[in-house]
Every structure is written in structure tokens, then in C-alpha cells.
């Protein structure tokens, strides 16, 4: 599908949004690995996996609970290998009437994380703000003229973007690692600048609403600091410049075209230095 004109768009399905031929933060993550990985991701977009569907359901349960009730349904536990099981399943599919079917466990997870989020004071305040959820935006990067897109989980007037994240470890230290590992700092800068460009507003605050997917479904809310956002801004700017060069030259290299030196990670060196020191002390 052709990418629409710059601006904000509401009510766009996930499938339609992902069909837009514009650069997203996810694609920038592929480019950060190598241009070859980006080219492959564009030419062979991944199909929706069960985990992706569950992730969308979790988002709906927390951010759009009424939509979750109307669009998702828990599957019954039946043995579809038996005659009775097949009949029960056929009856259930009629009842589902086009709703997205979740396993009992996944549906229960969605209910559990929703209940945990609305009991958390800061998370409840964010959700009660009644921002605009699942907002898609298109803009043209002013530095490279590359057309970009993003889809914000929640936009709260006048300047706040909220991003819902599920995590194995939602503690400050655990989520810090996730911010670095998954490039959430780059996503924050990309979304803030993109939404500002698409709307003419000045979005400058990025909040993470973090929910763990295992009991007790702990919840935390974090505001990403300005330094981290600026680091992300520099990174996404460099990646867009690289993308522009790849387009102009039609050259999409992988990691390196030449032989380069490589060494063990720093933590291996640190352990080796400790071992050497211990051996030296033992020989004294």
C-alpha cells in the first residue's frame, strides 16, 4: 500500500500500518545490524506470529479494554480429535464470529496484566488521562527527506507519548538493560520527533508503562531522561543518513567487506586478569 501523506492517522489496523512503505524504528533496528538485514526485512516482512498476536492483545487489554472485550475471545479446552470436540469447536467458532481467538492461558495473561496495571497508582493515572491510543503518524525527516512512520501506544496532550512494554524484569536495573539492548532510547527520540513533525505539536516527554508477564505481574512507570533521548536522536539520525546513502548507491552491505581484527569480550579479559592476579598471589 502507498504510504499516506504526512500527518496523524486514527483507526488504522496493524496490517495496514505495516504495509506503509516508510521507515520505522523497527526497520532502523535492522539497519543498525546491517544494511543487508534492512533490505531483507523490507523485501520479506515477517508474518504475524502467535507471540505478536498475544502482544497486540496485551496492548488492547490495558490501553483499550473495551476493544479487547469485543475483539478477543478465549478458546475452550476441547479435544478436536474427537467427534464431540470437533462439534464443540465448530460451535465455538460460530460464537467467536471473527474475533481473535486466544488460548486460555494467553487470555488469562491479558486479564491479569490489565488488572495489575489499573491497580498501580502511576499507571492508573496514565490510563485515566484518556489519551489517543494506537495513533499512527507519517512524516518526512527534515535532514534526509526520508519518509518515516511510527505507531504510538498512547499520546497524552499536550506533549507526552506513552509506550507500553512487557518485560521479564521490570525493575529499574532490569529495564535499563532492556532500554540499551532493544534500542528503546532510539525509539523514544524517533517517536517524539516524528509525532512533533506530523502534528506541529512539541512532544518532549516519553513514558514507559512496563508490565511483567509473569506473576505477580509487577508494574512500573519510567520517564526516559533527556540525555538518553538525545543519544537516541543522534543514533537514528546517523541511521537515516546511512539509509539514504544505501538508497542512492543501491548498495546494501552486511557486516564488513574486509578482514578485521576481533577479540574476546571485555568481561573475558577482566576474568583473565583476575585469574592472573590470583595465580601470582598464590605463588608468592
CA-atom Rg of the chain in angstroms: 23
How would residue 79 be classed by pLDDT, with cut points 50, 70 and 90? confident
Q: pLDDT at position 35, please?
A: 97
In a domain, 69, yes or no: yes
When divided into structural domains, the chain yields a total of: 1
pLDDT > 70: what percent of the chain? 99
Closest CA to 236 of 101, 128, 141: 141
Cα angle for residues 217, 218, 219 (degrees, 5° grid): 115
Nearest to 191 by CA among 131, 133, 137: 137
pLDDT at position 47: 85
Question: How confident is the model at residue 275, as a pLDDT?
Answer: 83
CATH code, domain carrying 115: 3.90.320.10
In a domain, 25, yes or no: yes
> 16-42: per-residue pLDDT in tens?
999 999 999 999 999 999 999 999 999
Structure confidence at residue 272 (pLDDT)? 80
CB atoms within 10 A of CB 270: 10
184: in domain: yes
Over residues 211-233, the pLDDT tens digits come to 999 999 999 999 999 999 999 99
CA distance 131 to 273: 53
> Does the residue 255 lie in any domain?
no
Asked if residue 259 belongs to a domain, the reply is no
How many Å apart are CA 82 and CA 182, to the nearest integer?
Answer: 44
**Mean pLDDT across the stretch 89-103?**
86
- The pLDDT assigned to 1 comes to 58
pLDDT at 279: 78
Range of the domain at 218: 7-249
Of 51, 105, 38, 47, nearest to 74 by C-alpha is 105
Residue 189 lies in a domain: yes
| pLDDT of res. 122 | 98
pLDDT digits (tens, 9 = 90+) for 141-191: 999 999 999 999 999 988 999 999 999 999 999 999 999 999 999 999 999
Joined together, the cell numbers standing for residue 48 give: 504475524
Residue 216 lies in a domain: yes
CB-based contact 115:72 (threshold 8 Å): no
60-65 mean pLDDT: 96
Amino acid at each position: 500500500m502507498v504510504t499516506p501523506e504526512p500527518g496523524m492517522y486514527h483507526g488504522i489496523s496493524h496490517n495496514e500500518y505495516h504495509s506503509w512503505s516508510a521507515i520505522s524504528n523497527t526497520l532502523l533496528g535492522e539497519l543498525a545490524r546491517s544494511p543487508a538485514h534492512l533490505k531483507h526485512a523490507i523485501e520479506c516482512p515477517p508474518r504475524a506470529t502467535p507471540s505478536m498476536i498475544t502482544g497486540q492483545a496485551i496492548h488492547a487489554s490495558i490501553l483499550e479494554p473495551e476493544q479487547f472485550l469485543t475483539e478477543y475471545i478465549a478458546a475452550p479446552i476441547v479435544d478436536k480429535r474427537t467427534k464431540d470436540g470437533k462439534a464443540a469447536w465448530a460451535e465455538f467458532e460460530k460464537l467467536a464470529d471473527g474475533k481473535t481467538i486466544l488460548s486460555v492461558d494467553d487470555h488469562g495473561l491479558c486479564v491479569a496484566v490489565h488488572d495489575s496495571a489499573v491497580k498501580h497508582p502511576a499507571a492508573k493515572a496514565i490510563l485515566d488521562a484518556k489519551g489517543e491510543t494506537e495513533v499512527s503518524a507519517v512524516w518526512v525527516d527534515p535532514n534526509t527527506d526520508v519518509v518515516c512512520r511510527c505507531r504510538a501506544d498512547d499520546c497524552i496532550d499536550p506533549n507526552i507519548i506513552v509506550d507500553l512494554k512487557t518485560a521479564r524484569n521490570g525493575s529499574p536495573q532490569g529495564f535499563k538493560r532492556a532500554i540499551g539492548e532493544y534500542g528503546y532510547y532510539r525509539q523514544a527520540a524517533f517517536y517524539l520527533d516524528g509525532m512533533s513533525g506530523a502534528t506541529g505539536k512539541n512532544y518532549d516527554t516519553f513514558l514507559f508503562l512496563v508490565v511483567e508477564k509473569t506473576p505477580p505481574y509487577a508494574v512500573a512507570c519510567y520517564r526516559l531522561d533527556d540525555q538518553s533521548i538525545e543519544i537516541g536522536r543522534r543514533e537514528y539520525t546517523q541511521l537515516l543518513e546511512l539509509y539514504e546513502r544505501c538508497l542512492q548507491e543501491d548498495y546494501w552491505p552486511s557486516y564488513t567487506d574486509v578482514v578485521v581484527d576481533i577479540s574476546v569480550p571485555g568481561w573475558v579479559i577482566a576474568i583473565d586478569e583476575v585469574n592472573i592476579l590470583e595465580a601470582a598471589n598464590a605463588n608468592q
